[in-house]
Chains A and B, each alone.
Chain A
Amino acid sequence: MRLKTGYVAIFFTMALLLSGCSSLKTGVLNPQGPVAKEQYDLIMWSIILMSIVFVAVIVLFVYMLVKYRAKSTDEEYVEPEEKENKWLEVIWTTIPVVIIIALAIPTVKSTFKLEKSPSPNQKPITIQVTSADWKWIFKYPEQGIETVNYVKIPANVPVRFELNAVGPMNSFWVPELGGQEYTMPGMTMYLWLEADNPGTYIGRSANFSGKDFTHMQFNVHSVTQSDFDAWVANVKKTAPKQTEAMFKELLKPGLVKEQTYSSYPDVDVNKLDENGKPILEPTTPHHHGTTEETKEEKKPENKSTDSHSHNHHH
């Protein structure tokens, strides 16, 4: 009897869940670009494969429970001499192997595919993303402009996001456009994304980075190429320039509103330490920490943005 109550409870929970399925079409299950679509297809394929496993096990489970539950009629039960069965072992080893091969092949294909531009024939745009406590800074090296806590991209153009961090690691995630990648201090990584249509997509940090991490939500505005060009031109004309002092101020822990700048200073964030101070490279053997202040001023002489800092991790 009690078992039956349990089944009823499970049934109702399932029914409740299924009724909510219509509202599922947001986030990961609402892919809005080729990268998210690629991942969505893999996710769906894995769900199909796993459903086979799920159904097989549950059917077997229920069958065993119903058929072999203790009844008052079988008090005379004598334990059967059943120990193992080679064929059964072979079957339930082989079938999972087949299922895993069926999942592993598209997994490996996708893994390599996602390393490259989703639309290789199209000229990409590069945007440098820096996470700092607790904000997102987007630099457009080709346009020379910078935004904070929002990013504008042209629709139907592959975007190469170059990711790095000042301070703790964060993870750059825009579920409707594609999977995430970490922003790490001292090591630049990249992530390809592309939006199929104009629209606004929510992004956030997926890796805990301290007190106000929760508020590291930002909007990705996808607009047509012409709107994008007009916006860039307007930013260049109307937005303020960002000085190095302003940039350093921005790196300090805290929350800021959306910001737009028509220029940004040439600072290699890969050469900043956890607190946004320049990492001192021992130039002379008798270097001591007391010269920190003077060093700090001399420091930003950056070779190039992709230079490997000595922290670059392999």
Chain B
Amino acid sequence: MKDFLFNFKMPEHFLVTGDPLIYGAQVSIVLASLAILFVLTYYKKWGWLWREWLTTVDHKKIGILYLLASLLMLFRGGVDALLMRMQLSAPNLNFLDADHYNQIFTTHGVIMILFMAMPFLIGLMNVAIPLQIGARDVAFPALNAVSFWMFAAGCMLFNISFVIGGSPDAGWTSYTPLAGNQLDPGPGQNYYLLGLQIAGIGTLVSGINFLVTILKMRAPGMTLWRMPLFSWSTLITSVIIIFAFPVLTIALALLTLDRLFGFHFFTLAGGGSPMMWANLFWIWGHPEVYIVILPAFGLFSEIFSTFARKKLFGYGAMVYSMLAISGLSFLVWVHHFFTMGSGPWINSIFSISTMLIAIPTGVKVFNWLFTLHKGRIEFKTPMLWALGFIPVFLVGGITGVMLAAAPADYQYHNSYFLIAHFHYVLIGGTVYGCIAGLVYYWPKITGFLLNERLGKWAFWWFTAGFNMCFIPLYIVGLKGMTRRMYTYPAGLGWETWNLIATIGAFGMGIGFIILVWNMIYSFRRGEKDTTGDPWNGRTLEWMTSSPAAEYNFAVIPKVKGLDAFHLMKKERAEGRKEETPEIKPIHMPKSEGFPVVMSAFMFISGFGFVFEWMQIGAFGLLGCVITMIWRSFNDYDRDYYIPVEEVKKTELAAGRRV
């Protein structure tokens, strides 16, 4: 027992050493942390932080936390990308060595998919979905906080790897046997497994939460077929999450057992099958791609319809095509390894199932285009990002169909052609969707608008840089350059294209800086959104004040059809008399401290297991379970009522008629 409790095996290098970049990062992390602690203490903000943010269960605030975290991760993943592009800007550079480069492409991939794209979209769902369906919060507000803090714990655990213990370096796919203990011992790969596992709990819980929220909490009159497209896409995404994430959980758990406890699921010795990892990973991984694209599709649908000032064209076709995509997303995973010898029958079938996805996706694109037809298109920043999405996503989509043809894929697989393809869909689809959604919902989140001029500069820098970065990568891919090479020899005709790509990447970086600067600038100078409806919106979220009151709606609206708020405005314009519903006391959830405490224990546990300090790991898990048990015995007095007087006061202060 004593041995178990006090045995701390130290890895060779606990703190990562030997690189000036890392030393710089370590120093700046310590300084930044000290500065934050100082500011919080000096301005006596600890209580505020605890009450307003750490314990909040308000979906709007949790949404903001998600968005802040994902912007930070977009920055981190972007810096990783720029470091890689600098290393590849010319042949035979030694800016990064192989070990460092391998860690960076691994963290870039993991962070961008799991700690940027997904939380960004979940953040936007948090901000918009309850408002859009006319609810006061999500179905399980405290669980929503658990989701966020679990994600935050996993994300922090993954991110500290680059200064403590070393980052994972087997790629975001982490194929075994390379990622097994035999070939890649040490904490790096453990960080991958535990960081993803903990964050994955948060995602799964979010999926359940939004599914129940959308199914059970829609305002009266809002049937499923009157739901806005972003709500539809969130509903469908939640279902995909619920089916796909358990597979990741299992895969990570099996590999963790292999690495920490000497099991043989994926090792050659002992009869394991390394290829099982590739299968499990992509059975989750391909639906994951649709988890991050469908919500973006939903956002684009809202934005096209709003800024073309027209009802979405082919609403039914839009919903059915998303359902088709979500079904197909589970039937194509083998296309990630056509080159692993599955045989001609399997390759043929998965080629065709992959090509089929182009049909519903095409239907969506044409319906978006016809939404513009006979509309009145205003080129506001959110619309610019949505319009920009069409041509770039088209390029990503058609190269995706090219990749679907198995025999051709033998030539594209793992080359930069593939890299260019999935960046065209993930940036052109997901990132454009995230930014479009962020700018669109910015007034609803903060109460003021972003500057249009700066917004357009950000868009054009990003779009020009993006195409300049990734078109050349299609070409070097066809010239035989493979992904994950940390350098390349001269004379293969790759130099110019790589240099152009690097310049383009920096253009994207400038676009990102302008975007962030716009937020800071507008924070002080931005135009106030006094109406709550800055874009002439069509859905219920624009009916509330900006930012929406804690309780969202003083009185839950009655929905009479698709584009409910648009209908109400139309009726008002036609002079139809409105009934003034009576305000009643509003039932709301109280803040809760247990999610953040539980996640802190989870973080401790994860950290312990990363270094194979089983006693710490067990302690953290125990703390987590005890917190849960404590919470379940204290399941009363978790809610309160906002009195009518207070609601009226809040409404009047927001300039609303009561």
Chain A residues proximal to chain B, CB less than 8 Å: 2-3, 5-6, 9-10, 13, 16-17, 20, 23-24, 26-29, 36, 38-39, 42-43, 46-47, 50, 53-54, 57-58, 60-61, 64-65, 68-70, 74, 77, 79-80, 82-85, 88-89, 92-93, 96-97, 100, 103-104, 106-108, 110-112, 114-115, 167-169, 171, 173, 175-176, 178-182, 184-187, 189, 202, 204-214, 217, 272-275, 277, 279-280, 310-311, 313
**Alpha-carbon distance A232/B650, docked complex (angstroms):** 90
- B160 adjacent to chain A (CB < 8 Å): no
**Alpha-carbon distance A151/B401, docked complex (angstroms):** 34
A-B contact pairs, 20 of them (CB 8 A): A17-B472, A29-B479, A42-B408, A54-B398, A64-B377, A65-B372, A68-B373, A100-B352, A107-B352, A111-B351, A114-B344, A173-B482, A180-B410, A180-B413, A184-B340, A207-B175, A210-B178, A273-B182, A274-B268, A279-B268
Task: Specify which chain A residues have a CB less than 8 angstroms from the CB of B314 in the assembled complex.
Answer: 83-85, 88-89
Given A107-B407, A169-B178, A178-B410, A20-B497 contact (CB < 8 Å): yes
Task: Specify which chain A residues have a CB less than 8 angstroms from the CB of B367 in the assembled complex.
Answer: 89
Contact B376 A77, beta carbon cutoff 8 Å: yes
Task: Specify which chain A residues have a CB less than 8 angstroms from the CB of B379 in the assembled complex.
Answer: 3, 69-70
- B1 adjacent to chain A (CB < 8 Å): no
Given A97-B359, A111-B347, A167-B183, A68-B308 contact (CB < 8 Å): yes
**Alpha-carbon distance A13/B503, docked complex (angstroms):** 12
Contact B311 A184, beta carbon cutoff 8 Å: no
- B273 adjacent to chain A (CB < 8 Å): yes
**Alpha-carbon distance A184/B340, docked complex (angstroms):** 8
Count the B residues whose beta carbon is within 8 Å of the partner chain — how many?
106
- B411 adjacent to chain A (CB < 8 Å): yes
Closest B residue to A3 by CB, please name it: B379
For the complex formed, measure the closest distance between the CB of A184 and the CB atoms of chain B, giving whole angstroms: 7
Q: Which of A84, A107, A111, A182 contacts B315 (CB 8 A)?
A: A84
Given A97-B359, A104-B352, A68-B376 contact (CB < 8 Å): yes
Task: Specify which chain A residues have a CB less than 8 angstroms from the CB of B369 in the assembled complex.
Answer: 57, 60-61, 64
Q: Which of B271, B359, B374, B404 contacts A82 (CB 8 A)?
A: B374
Closest B residue to A202 by CB, please name it: B480
Give 10 A-B pairs besides A57-B394, A107-B355 with Cβ atoms closer than 8 angstroms: A10-B467, A27-B480, A28-B417, A57-B365, A68-B374, A85-B370, A108-B351, A210-B183, A210-B184, A217-B489
Given A184-B274, A274-B267, A103-B405 contact (CB < 8 Å): yes
Given A104-B355, A206-B415, A214-B398 contact (CB < 8 Å): no
Contact A187 B317, beta carbon cutoff 8 Å: no
For the complex formed, measure the closest distance between the CB of A264 and the CB atoms of chain B, giving whole angstroms: 22
* 4 pairs of A and B residues whose beta carbons are closest in the complex: A179-B410, A274-B182, A50-B398, A168-B178
**Alpha-carbon distance A36/B407, docked complex (angstroms):** 10
For the complex formed, measure the closest distance between the CB of A301 and the CB atoms of chain B, giving whole angstroms: 18
**Alpha-carbon distance A68/B308, docked complex (angstroms):** 8
Q: Which of B183, B267, B411 contacts A43 (CB 8 A)?
A: B411
For the residues of B in contact with A, the DSSP-based class is: helix
Given A182-B340, A204-B480, A206-B482, A74-B313 contact (CB < 8 Å): no
Contact A23 B177, beta carbon cutoff 8 Å: no
Contact B475 A103, beta carbon cutoff 8 Å: no
- B33 adjacent to chain A (CB < 8 Å): no
Contact A274 B348, beta carbon cutoff 8 Å: no
Contact B355 A179, beta carbon cutoff 8 Å: no
Residue among B273, B348, B358, B405 with the highest chain A CB neighbour number at 10 A: B405
Contact B271 A310, beta carbon cutoff 8 Å: yes
Contact B311 A82, beta carbon cutoff 8 Å: yes
Contact B398 A39, beta carbon cutoff 8 Å: no
For the complex formed, measure the closest distance between the CB of B115 and the CB atoms of chain A, giving whole angstroms: 21
Task: Specify which chain A residues have a CB less than 8 angstroms from the CB of B272 in the assembled complex.
Answer: 311
Task: Specify which chain A residues have a CB less than 8 angstroms from the CB of B183 in the assembled complex.
Answer: 167-168, 210, 274-275
